[in-house]
């Protein structure tokens, strides 16, 4: 019989519904004084031994849940409150955590079937992200199973895998667990745990078993245990016997890529020494498959066209998965941008400072920046400024060309873009640099908001909280869909003008650096090339080089000046011809 019924009080919380009775606790949903719904576990201390209580006083699960919530991790359930009370002659403790809408992984598989490989890997990465945080706190989970992972539904409809049960969490255990092991799922347990040994590598085995379950719909080496009842020795023997067989990695219905077979074999090795060295090692191995650092792995990310159409490459452009080639910023990227001091200072003040100083940003309640737009005439160095900005931040970043995507109205483009945002969140903090955004999100020329624009907005809205910043460029900002040019999406807009005096000198130096030259006065060249963009300077140097080569003489100051005398800038701020700010 349940301890509580609907409407009863547990401390300051009101019972909404009973969930289940476990080995050492009962679970409920409860309402707080704020009318918010929470998850509540009630522990009967008479069911626990002194070894299951921290310092003989407090339930270990409560202590560990508090500790793990000191630095919140999106993939681990969060502590809200705890307390104690007496009912009859018994003492009870309770733990209140956040309540999540969604479904358990095992419920999802039972209802909708197995996950495809990419989704299974993404879920596994999230679980490993929570697990490696636990391990950094010298804590083991000991019970990673599909029934302990919730696909938490977020406001934007996305599902976030979250570890929701810490009932078997412990420090390292070598020989005698201080928690109840009778309810552990046998086929998700590492071999050594049947000898009482629980380590980070036994957690790694359980995650490998979880990944196997997501792809195949059952645990590895799963066998019928119905005849074993609750006899732990019979269960142990049955599991051990089943694991003598070769691990099934291909069936008539399910075929997985070779790289995944290798990963599963390593994670599920019977010998702990042969597994991944840690949850972090496992995590990084999966990341390397999903977010390759070079194009050699790009084929692993290919997505087949479900319809199997023989579309042309132009028509099918949006269906080709864009590989993520990411770099790590150096932290001093603006050193490669000559001049433009006002723009660099503006970017440091309005964007970079808050990102590099999150505590100060929190103290002063600085609003997060989801995206910025750099616009200006072609050839003014927007791409250089963008890459230098990402380098200056010191975050992971990738550079993409929107023109290679097609636009958001083409089939598959939004899916590819969502995939890039998902991959970026795994390597957060991350900067997505997107050149020529007007190609991807063109202005529809109507006041009606398209479903594609709404989908794009949902990716950008709140991406700062996932550690993602979009840095877009445009030659024609008026051609960008105004629906995304709003706070919470593109939060800041910066004009990138033609190169200033110092920048022009630097461009001349670079283009003349490896050519035969007399002594050059770069100061004079910069003065004579006012309003020139990089392309104008490139043409100037090339024409001067052609003349010098024909005369068989070094490039001289006179030849360069003569070219500049008759050459006009492509975009002039004086005549207002060309690009308008």
The answer to whether residue 165 scores a pLDDT higher than 50 is: yes
57 pLDDT tier (thresholds 50, 70, 90): confident
**Least confident residue range of 278-292, 367-381, 556-570:** 278-292
Rounded to two decimals, the pTM is 0.55
Average pLDDT on 349-356 reads 93
Task: Output the pLDDT for position 64.
Answer: 93
Q: Which CATH architecture has domain 502-566?
A: Orthogonal Bundle (1.10)
The answer to whether residue 310 scores a pLDDT higher than 70 is: no
In the chain, the percentage of residues whose pLDDT exceeds 70 is 91
Rg from Cα positions in the chain? 30
Task: Output the pLDDT for position 408.
Answer: 82
304 pLDDT tier (thresholds 50, 70, 90): very low
In the chain, the percentage of residues whose pLDDT exceeds 90 is 48
119 pLDDT tier (thresholds 50, 70, 90): confident
The answer to whether residue 6 scores a pLDDT higher than 90 is: yes
- Listed in sequence order, the residues at least 6 apart from 64 whose beta carbon sits closer than 8 Å to its beta carbon are 139, 166, 169
The answer to whether residue 9 scores a pLDDT higher than 60 is: yes
For the chain, how many residues are written? 581
Question: Residue ranges per domain, the chain?
Answer: 9-98, 102-290, 300-307+315-495, 502-566
Q: DSSP readout, 393-415? A: HTSEEEEEEGGGT--TTSTTHHH
Torsion-angle region of 70 (φ positive above 0: left; ψ -120 to 50: alpha; else: beta): alpha
**Least confident residue range of 72-76, 297-301, 348-352:** 297-301
CATH number for 9-98: choose from 3.90.79.10, 3.30.200.20, 3.30.2270.10, 3.40.50.300. 3.30.200.20
For the chain, what is the largest distance between any 2 Cα atoms, rounded to a whole number of angstroms? 107
Asked if domains 102-290 and 300-307+315-495 share a fold, the reply is: no
Handedness of CA 188, 192, 195, 200 (dihedral sign): negative
Task: Output the pLDDT for position 350.
Answer: 93
What's the chain's average pLDDT?
85
CA triple 556-558-559, angle to 5 deg? 70
Q: What is the spatial distance between Cα 149 and Cα 75, in angstroms, rounded to a whole number? A: 9
| The pair of three-digit structure tokens given for residue 277, joined into one six-digit string | 């060295």
Report for 54-58, 112-116, 301-305: range of highest mean pLDDT: 112-116
Average pLDDT on 529-544 reads 90
Closest CA to 136 of 68, 192, 198, 189: 68
The answer to whether residue 306 scores a pLDDT higher than 90 is: no
More confident residue, 320 or 143: 143
**Least confident residue range of 105-109, 351-355, 379-383, 553-557:** 379-383
155 pLDDT tier (thresholds 50, 70, 90): low
Q: What is the spatial distance between Cα 535 and Cα 508, in angstroms, rounded to a whole number? A: 11
Q: What is the spatial distance between Cα 30 and Cα 539, in angstroms, rounded to a whole number? A: 72
The answer to whether residue 129 scores a pLDDT higher than 60 is: yes
Task: Output the pLDDT for position 317.
Answer: 44
Q: What are the φ and ψ backbone dihedral angles of 558, each rounded to 5 degrees? A: -65, -45
Task: Output the pLDDT for position 278.
Answer: 93
576 pLDDT tier (thresholds 50, 70, 90): very low
The answer to whether residue 177 scores a pLDDT higher than 60 is: yes
- Listed in sequence order, the residues at least 6 apart from 581 whose beta carbon sits closer than 8 Å to its beta carbon are 376, 495, 497
Task: Output the pLDDT for position 230.
Answer: 85
What is the CB-side half-sphere exposure of residue 483 using CA atoms within 13 A?
20
Q: What is the spatial distance between Cα 441 and Cα 449, in angstroms, rounded to a whole number? A: 12
Beta-strand ranges (E) seen in 242-395 are: 326-328, 371-375
CATH number for 300-307+315-495: choose from 3.40.50.10490, 3.30.2010.10, 3.40.228.10, 3.40.50.300. 3.40.50.300
**Which long-range CB contacts under 8 A does 217-222 form with residues at least 24 apart?**
217/109, 217/113, 217/114, 219/185, 219/187, 219/188, 220/187, 220/247, 220/248, 220/264, 220/268, 221/187, 221/245, 221/247, 222/187
Instruction: Give the H or E element holding residue 119.
Output: helix 117-136
Task: Output the pLDDT for position 191.
Answer: 95
CATH class of 102-290: mainly alpha
The answer to whether residue 413 scores a pLDDT higher than 90 is: no
Task: Output the pLDDT for position 325.
Answer: 66
Each residue of 179-189: pLDDT tens digit? 888 889 999 99
**Least confident residue range of 128-132, 370-374, 496-500, 576-580:** 576-580
- Listed in sequence order, the residues at least 6 apart from 571 whose beta carbon sits closer than 8 Å to its beta carbon are 377, 380, 498, 531, 533, 577, 578, 579
More confident residue, 414 or 267: 267
Task: Output the pLDDT for position 557.
Answer: 94
């Amino acid at each position: 019989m349940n301890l509580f019924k609907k409407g009863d009080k547990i401390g300051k919380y009101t019972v909404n519904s009973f969930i289940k009775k476990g080995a050492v606790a009962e679970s409920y949903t409860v309402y707080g004084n704020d009318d918010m719904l929470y998850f509540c576990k009630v522990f009967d201390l008479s069911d626990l031994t002194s070894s299951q209580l921290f310092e003989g006083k407090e339930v270990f699960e409560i202590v560990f849940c508090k500790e793990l919530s000191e630095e919140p991790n999106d993939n681990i359930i969060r502590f809200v409150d705890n307390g104690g009370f007496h009912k009859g002659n018994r003492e009870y403790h309770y733990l209140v955590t956040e309540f999540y809408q969604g479904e358990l992984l095992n419920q999802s598989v039972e209802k909708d079937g197995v996950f495809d490989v990419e989704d299974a890997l993404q879920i596994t990465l999230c679980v490993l992200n929570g697990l490696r945080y636990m391990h950094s706190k010298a804590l083991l989970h000991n019970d990673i199973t599909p029934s302990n992972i919730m696909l938490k539904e977020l406001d934007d409809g996305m599902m976030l895998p979250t570890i929701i049960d810490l009932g078997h969490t412990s420090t390292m255990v070598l020989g005698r667990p201080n928690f109840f092991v009778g309810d552990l799922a046998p086929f998700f347990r590492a071999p050594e745990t049947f000898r009482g040994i629980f380590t980070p590598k036994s957690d790694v085995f359980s995650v490998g078993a979880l990944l196997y379950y997501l792809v195949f719909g059952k645990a590895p080496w799963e066998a019928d245990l119905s005849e074993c009842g609750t006899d732990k020795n019979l269960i142990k023997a049955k599991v051990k016997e089943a694991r003598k067989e070769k691990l099934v990695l291909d069936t008539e219905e399910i075929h997985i890529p070779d790289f995944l077979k290798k990963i599963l074999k390593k994670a599920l090795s019977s010998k702990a020494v042969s597994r991944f060295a840690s949850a972090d090692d496992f995590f990084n191995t999966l990341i390397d498959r999903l977010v390759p650092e070079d194009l050699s792995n790009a084929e692993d990310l290919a997505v087949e066209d479900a319809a199997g159409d023989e579309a042309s490459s132009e028509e099918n452009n949006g269906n080709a998965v864009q590989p993520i080639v990411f770099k790590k910023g150096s932290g001093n990227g603006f050193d490669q941008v000559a001049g433009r001091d006002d723009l660099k200072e503006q970017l440091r003040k309005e964007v970079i400072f808050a990102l590099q100083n999150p505590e100060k940003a929190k103290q002063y309640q600085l609003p997060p920046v989801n995206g910025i737009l750099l616009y200006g005439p072609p050839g003014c160095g927007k791409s250089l400024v963008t890459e230098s900005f990402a380098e200056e931040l010191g975050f992971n970043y990738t550079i993409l060309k929107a023109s290679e995507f097609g636009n958001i109205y083409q089939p598959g483009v939004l899916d590819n873009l969502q995939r890039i945002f998902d991959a970026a969140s795994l390597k957060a903090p991350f900067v997505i640099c997107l050149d020529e955004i007007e190609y991807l999100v063109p202005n529809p020329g109507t006041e009606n908001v398209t479903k594609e624009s709404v989908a794009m907005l949902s990716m950008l809205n709140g991406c700062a909280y996932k550690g993602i910043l979009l840095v877009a460029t445009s030659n024609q900002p008026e051609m960008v869909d105004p629906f995304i040019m709003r706070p919470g999406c593109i939060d800041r807009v910066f004009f990138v003008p033609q190169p200033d005096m110092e920048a022009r000198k630097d461009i001349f130096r670079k283009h003349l650096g490896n050519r035969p030259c007399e002594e050059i006065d770069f100061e004079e060249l910069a003065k004579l090339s006012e309003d020139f963009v990089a392309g104008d300077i490139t043409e100037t140097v090339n024409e001067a080089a052609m003349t010098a080569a024909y005369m068989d003489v070094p490039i001289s100051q006179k030849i360069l000046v003569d070219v500049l005398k008759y050459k006009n800038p492509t975009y002039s701020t004086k005549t207002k011809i060309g690009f308008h700010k």
